[in-house]
Amino acid sequence: MATKEKVCLAYSCSVSGGLDTSCILAWLLEKGYDVVCFMADIGQEEDFEAAKLKALSVGASAVHVEDVREEFVKELCFPAIQCNASYENVYLLGTSLARPVIARAQIAVALRENCVAVSHGCTGKGNDQVRFELAFYALKPDIKVIAPWRIPEFYNRFQGRNDLLDYAAKVGIPVSQTKAKPWSMDENMAHCSYEAGILEDPNMTPPKDMWKLTVDPQDAPDAPENFTVHFEKGIPVKLEYENGKAVSDPVQLFLTANAIARRNGVGRIDIVENRFIGIKSRGCYETPGLTILRSAHLDLEGLTLDREIRALRDQFVTIGYSRVLYNGLYFSPEREFLEASIVASQKTVNGTVRCQVYKGYFSVLGRSSATEKLYDMDESSMDIIGGLEPIDSTGFINVQAIRLKK
């Protein structure tokens, strides 16, 4: 008998196996492939053992769970904080940030298992198909990619989630989604996203029980919570909270920031964005810890970062890096260039930010730096003349007015 071609499938383990990829696994088996399932532990709250058993019960020949949490925080989340990354001024790129480390780990598993192809459950209208496949081809140019949602035989058979639910019931695949709550979820350590189903109506308010990570701001504690974030070269290196407790390990620091923001209802957004592929999409996102760490960093830059460097970084690096992440071009020369620019811009961003969260809001109580002296209290004071003679401003204004007078 001929050996079956082996495929490495990115198996979504949302609530012990996502609807799409569980059905794709069964479909690939129908097509005669030997399927190895791959799952990335990227900090989502999941029973990986249950997901592994489920994939094996459906018919996977092997299941690999790869822990990528530390590289996710250090290689993706921290640089995003350093440059205040955001897409269209509001989305903190929680899904985009995770894709490079997931794709890299999947290719590594595919190589170990001698797979001829990799597969995923991304839709033909979304961003993730682009992100994963550009990463696959950058890491292994000769890899074959099987994208069922772009294969007519598949998408004509399964024209929506209801068809998938019917198929899952027919072949005996247990799933958590129902026709009453059909929205899609994607979770990692940085965020959880929600889309599809009733959320496709941009005027439909998300139901209260949809949100998974954060407490409803109205139900958050009635007393504010304070904490302090320490930064070195733009990277959070220590978080102090709850009467003297402190954490410095990158993953634990991020998880602690998550816990603080989650219990205080911080980090929810509901937006309509422009997908890379050219259509608009409504998405609801929870990004708790990343929201407060980025906000603290943004504040510290006001004290420690030179004006012209900040302007250049904001105009070119922040926008460019955010777009590179969103569009799936992490494994590209432009990302390497932009990331080097991020590091160069952050040499002076050292100090502490005292923060407060309360019922969905983040605020800064104070900031300080022991090493950077760009801010001079005497120079800025309204009560002390300092090194700037007020009369000097007359000439400055006159020069600035020349063009306007013309």
Claim to verify: residue 116 and residue 163 sit in the same structural domain: yes
Instruction: Specify the pLDDT at position 3.
Output: 79
Q: What local confidence, expressed as pLDDT, does residue 160 receive?
A: 76
- On the 0-12 / 13-18 / 19+ scale of CB atoms within 10 A, 356 is middle
Consecutive H or E run containing 35 = strand 34-41
Domain membership flag for residue 156: yes
How far CA 62 is from CA of 36, 42, 104, 393, in Å, comes to 5, 20, 19, 72
Q: Are residues 13 and 151 in the same domain?
A: yes
Q: Which pLDDT value is given to residue 381?
A: 64
Instruction: Give the containing element (helix H, strand E) for 27.
Output: helix 19-30
The answer on 133 and 10 residing in a single domain is: yes
214 to each of 80, 209, 356, how far by Cα in Å? 21, 11, 16
Classify residue 14: in a domain, yes or no.
Answer: yes
**What CATH code is carried by the domain that includes residue 250?**
3.90.1260.10
CA 206 → CA 14, 189, 216, 271, 274, distances in Å? 20, 22, 12, 11, 20
Asked if residue 71 is part of any domain, the answer here is: yes
Shared-domain flag, residues 129 and 219: no
- CATH number, domain of 89, equals 3.40.50.620
Q: Are residues 235 and 281 in the same domain?
A: yes
Catalytic positions, written as ranges: 20, 99, 128, 184
Q: What is the pLDDT of residue 17?
A: 47
Residue 220 near residue 358 (C-beta atoms within 8 A): yes
Which of the listed residues 124, 152, 181 is the one where a domain comes to its end?
A: 181
Residues 107 and 243 in one domain: no
Task: Indicate the number of domains in the chain.
Answer: 2
The reply to whether 17 falls in a domain is yes
Amino acid occupying residue 24: I
Select from 348, 326, 349 the least CA-distant residue to 338: 326
Query: Which residues partner with 38 through β-bridges?
Result: 10, 64
Helix (H, G, I), strand (E, B) or coil at 60: coil
| Spatial distance between the Cα atoms of 354 and 238, rounded to a whole number of angstroms | 12
Q: Is residue 383 part of a domain?
A: no
Structural domain containing residue 222? 186-368
pLDDT tens string, the chain, 406 residues long: the values are 457 899 999 997 654 347 788 999 999 999 999 999 999 999 998 889 988 998 999 999 999 999 999 999 999 999 999 999 999 999 999 999 999 999 999 999 999 999 999 999 998 999 999 999 999 999 999 999 999 999 999 999 998 778 888 898 888 887 765 555 667 889 999 999 999 889 999 999 999 999 999 999 999 999 999 999 999 999 999 999 998 999 999 999 999 999 999 999 999 999 999 999 999 999 999 999 999 999 999 999 999 999 999 999 999 999 999 999 999 999 999 999 999 999 999 999 999 999 999 999 999 999 999 998 888 776 666 667 667 788 889 999 999 999 999 9
Same domain for 83 and 214: no
Residues 233 and 134 in one domain: no
199 and 171 inside one domain? no
Residue 373 lies in a domain: no
3-state secondary structure of 187: strand
- Of the candidates 151, 181, 211, which is a domain's last residue? 181
Q: What is the pTM of this model?
A: 0.92
